[in-house]
Structure 1
Amino acid sequence: MGVWGMLRRSGASVWGGLKKLKSTSMYIYQTLFLNGENSDIKICALGEEWNLHKVYLRQSGYFSSMFSGSWKESCMDTIELEIPDQRAPPESLQVAFGSLYRDDVLIKPGRVVALLAAACMLQLDGLILQCGETMKETINAKTVCSYYNSAGTYGLDSVKKRCLEWLLNNLMTHQSVELFKELSINLMKQLISSSNLFVMQVEMDLYTALKKWMFLQLVPSWNGPLKQLLAQADAWFAERRRELEGDAAFLDLEQGAAFRPVFAHLRLQYIISDLASARIVERDALIPPEWLSTVYKQQWFAMLRVEQDNDTGPQEINKEELEGSSMRCGRKLAQDGDYCWRWTGFNFGFDLLITYTNRYIIFKRNTLNQPCSGSVSLQPRRSIAFRLRLASFDSSGKIICSRTTGYQILSLEKDQEQVVMNLDSRLLVFPLYICCNFLYTSLEKRTGGTAASEGTDQH
């Protein structure tokens, strides 16, 4: 029997054996990294040892500098590595060193922050980039705060930006006790000050969310369900009021002072414009009285301008004014259908009805069927500045689809309606979240003066 005959008879086992051969990358990883064959340097750190190779370690900016400079380690065959960052445990160093010997690294979301710490310490640019991409893809309520903090620590601006966007979209649309506990004062201040925050339903709901958040910051051991959180927070702050038996607002007390910068970014003018909301704020006594008196005065003058100066609303788009002073409100549409609603509050004689029907969103200036004759302006034309945004989210809070009108000026005659968005049914995924920014009056130009407290010039 010839050679080829023997090969044909044994071909199955020959080719089967060839199929089982490891790829070059896997062979290098197994033989050189895991087995440490032909190692020319030993790295010791955190009670562990790695038998490695200088030629592979030079891929690391940290070791490249060490081996090419005048460092004493450049000629040593054993190096004791000091790990100043306690976020880099031995497991993360194992993966980081191993990444030098293979093409692909499987990064588990639960360990990505620790791996990022190790990668940054060792100056492994490729692994840092891969950690960043993994973080962007796995942002959710459980990871967003740790990702945001780590991205800030290690300079991953794109990850930090993506986390902030996720929080702006989900803080109010998908509230959670765990998320409230993890949100720092500085991060919450960024969210509350932003005009891009997806608000559900009105500004008063932001105040309520802050009250719950502040309670959890002060009593982090509370572990009840979200539906019981507000009642528990109200009871806790009421008990503080009884204990103090004074007139001081909670934010003026030592215990509440740290939260002042966050509450200062509430747009109080859109809270006190609703009677029930104004009464709750007064009852809670969280907010300093001078903040409120400033806003009451501001709103009174705005009402007088509409009544006596015939302020017909914004005439041009000033993005800075709109972002800092617009009313923020939102609505969740659970399923497709016909909807018509208005957001509560005194809106200076402009009764705006919003309708969703047949994939259209329509604004209507309503002057008929008002509860009293003076509750609506009968001026021939009134203008509003607005921005309308729509979004749908997946189970992790990531946006599936979104639309925006951008900032616009809309001028309406009495009882006139206007289509402001026509939606493509292929993009509609329910539940659908609608968020609006409105400005009903032109802002009075200020001539000097100072705010009553830090941040109140935002109102």
Structure 2
Amino acid sequence: MGALTSRLLGLWRAQAPEQLGAGGEEQEAGAMAVVEEVEEESGEGGPTPRQGGVKRKAHSGRRHEQEPPRKRTKHSSGSVYQALFLRGEGSDVQIRALGNVWNLHRTYLCQSGYFASMFSGAWRESTMNTIELQMPDDNIDREALHDALGSLYRDYVLIQPSRVVPILATASMLQLDELIQQCGEIMEETVCVQTVCSYYYAAGSYGLPNIRTMCFQWLLHNLMTHRGDELIPEISLDIMEELIVSSELLVIEVEMDVYTMLKKWMYLQLQPTWRGPRRALLSDANLWFARSKRELDGTPFLETPQGRAFVPVFQHLRLAYIVCDLPSARIIDQDALIPATWLTPVYKEQWLALLKAEQTRGLPPTEVHVSNFQRNSMRCGHQVHREEPCSWRWAGFHFSWDLVVCYSNRRVTFRRSALNNPHGLGASLLWQGKVAFRLCLVSLDRAGRTVLRQDTEYQVLSLGKDEELEVANLENQDVVFPIYVACNFVYLPRERSCQE
């Protein structure tokens, strides 16, 4: 007999007559008939009832639900699953849970760490023929428990992305390592707008730190892109706080756009039944907050009972890079979301910094630490739509330290120019000024997954008039457009020269 037949014979022979119950000899004879039938269907040296999950790679533009059924190798797994699991032939233990009953076999259940401990220890269930399971996790449902128990009798489990979290929760309870691994692989392949938040929480709850990190990185890359308006209703307060505090958040344009996104997000949190075209979201949010402002006699919204829940998120806005732009400062004042007690110290700090830049001949050298970027850097970005030369400025850069960014021939360069400076601040002529920066280039596929990411080291930039510096080169990279060019800047005061 082949390996499978030997396994099944061992299963049946291991059962004591009293476990088979009344008519045990007839059941044993029936069991042998099942074995003979299975042996006839299986090939020589067929697989054992459990050989682990099947790894599957999803096409980047398709969902797993749309994939055609895979060809199944003709072996005994299907017959074992049908006869032993679905029909419960030769069962020696009954599992009851969630209003359902499964007639199963201890030998197969012991592949689960949960049941192996139950049956081998001093637990009272070790000698019971009927076991009532209590579900400690709301994510576990009857369908997921059925699939997880059935995985002990077959080589594979076909898991749809919409069912990953319940099956992962069940596999974690039953300590089914291979099924947990398969769930992780599917999560990695199918992260998208619809799944990323549920995957993020599930990965944290069920011990998949790599998946949790991957989901968080996906959110950092996609929150501020064209997927943002579709994504933000799904993001909870705690996730949003983690995203806004991060200096790796891919900001498209400038920090004011982070404020605008948060305003739309807060409106959707307060009005979860809102349904309308995405292009109307911001205007509807503005109207709602304007009405609230009138009703509250101008009280800043974040100081109201409704608004206090959002304070931990808005506190991480980098207001210093918003109030230095006049149109942005006017919007902040008109919206009256942010309390004056937050804004007054920022205005004071920025005014004193401007005076120092204009009137102080020299300051002690400034040391740059990575931690400064995490807390204080200006976050800005730009989208390069196609392979053609383009250039841009991040308007209102710190005290008109005018920096032109150019993309051409797969290269990104910085250039310093004071010509036609629209800001008119004398600080723009102080060529000794420096900034510390980090540049990141990101390319995403249609599902928002990272195709290319290239980061520079933290560097200190000091450019003279019309001087140019190449900061990134993608010549040898497979580039998929659009490319997002993201940068973090920290302005550094001038160093004291030896002549001063």
Q: TM-score, normalised by structure 1?
A: 0.88
Query: How far apart in 2 are the matches of 1:160 and 1:410?
Result: 35
Check whether the contact 2:148–2:171 (CA below 8 A) recurs between aligned residues: yes
Query: How far apart in 2 are the matches of 1:360 and 1:86?
Result: 51
Check whether the contact 1:313–1:440 (CA below 8 A) recurs between aligned residues: no
Please state whether the residue corresponding to 2:396 is helix, strand or coil.
coil
Please state whether the residue corresponding to 1:241 is helix, strand or coil.
helix
- Paired residue type of 2:382: R
2:130 to 70, 78, 90: 78
Query: How far apart in 2 are the matches of 1:243 and 1:372?
Result: 38
- Find out whether 1:128 has 2:180 as its counterpart: yes
1:431 to 482, 487, 493: 482
Residues 1:311 and 1:171: Cα distance change in structure 2 (over 3 Å): farther
Query: How far apart in 2 are the matches of 1:175 and 1:312?
Result: 44
Superposed displacement of residue 59, structure 1: 1.4
Query: How far apart in 1 are the matches of 2:193 and 2:494?
Result: 37
Please state whether the residue corresponding to 1:427 is helix, strand or coil.
coil
| Aligned length, in residue pairs | 428
2:411 to 360, 363, 372: 360
- Find out whether 1:326 has 2:377 as its counterpart: yes
1:202 to 254, 258, 272: 254
Query: How far apart in 2 are the matches of 1:241 and 1:289?
Result: 14
1:166 to 211, 218, 221: 218
- Find out whether 1:248 has 2:289 as its counterpart: no
Indicate the larger mover: 345-354 or 435-444: 435-444
Superposed displacement of residue 200, structure 1: 0.8
Superposed displacement of residue 443, structure 1: 11
Superposed displacement of residue 370, structure 1: 2.4
Q: TM-score, normalised by structure 2?
A: 0.81
- Find out whether 1:190 has 2:238 as its counterpart: no
- Paired residue type of 2:105: H
Superposed displacement of residue 413, structure 1: 1.5
Specify the alignment match of 1:55 in structure 2.
107
Specify the alignment match of 2:231 in structure 1.
179
Residues 1:171 and 1:354: Cα distance change in structure 2 (over 3 Å): same
Task: Describe how 1:288-299 pairs up with structure 2 within 5 A.
Answer: 288-299=339-350
Specify the alignment match of 2:22 in structure 1.
none
Please state whether the residue corresponding to 2:428 is helix, strand or coil.
coil
Residues 1:310 and 1:372: Cα distance change in structure 2 (over 3 Å): same
Deviations 1:246-298 (A, max 9, x none): x3210011110000010000000000011000000000000010110010011
Residues 1:140 and 1:21: Cα distance change in structure 2 (over 3 Å): closer
Superposed displacement of residue 348, structure 1: 2.0
Deviations 1:52-93 (A, max 9, x none): 110111111211111111222111111121223222111111
Check whether the contact 1:199–1:329 (CA below 8 A) recurs between aligned residues: yes
The gaps in structure 1 that reach 5 residues or longer are: 1-16, 445-459
Query: How far apart in 2 are the matches of 1:414 and 1:312?
Result: 21
Query: How far apart in 1 are the matches of 2:282 and 2:424?
Result: 37
Residues 1:417 and 1:30: Cα distance change in structure 2 (over 3 Å): same
The gaps in structure 2 that reach 5 residues or longer are: 1-40, 44-71, 496-500
Specify the alignment match of 1:13 in structure 2.
none
Query: How far apart in 2 are the matches of 1:55 and 1:311?
Result: 80
- Find out whether 1:377 has 2:428 as its counterpart: yes
- Paired residue type of 1:58: C
Query: How far apart in 2 are the matches of 1:327 and 1:280?
Result: 19
- Paired residue type of 1:221: T
After superposition, the CA RMSD in angstroms is 2.2
Task: Describe how 1:21-32 pairs up with structure 2 within 5 A.
Answer: 22-32=74-84
Task: Describe how 1:261-276 pairs up with structure 2 within 5 A.
Answer: 261-276=312-327
Specify the alignment match of 2:396 in structure 1.
345
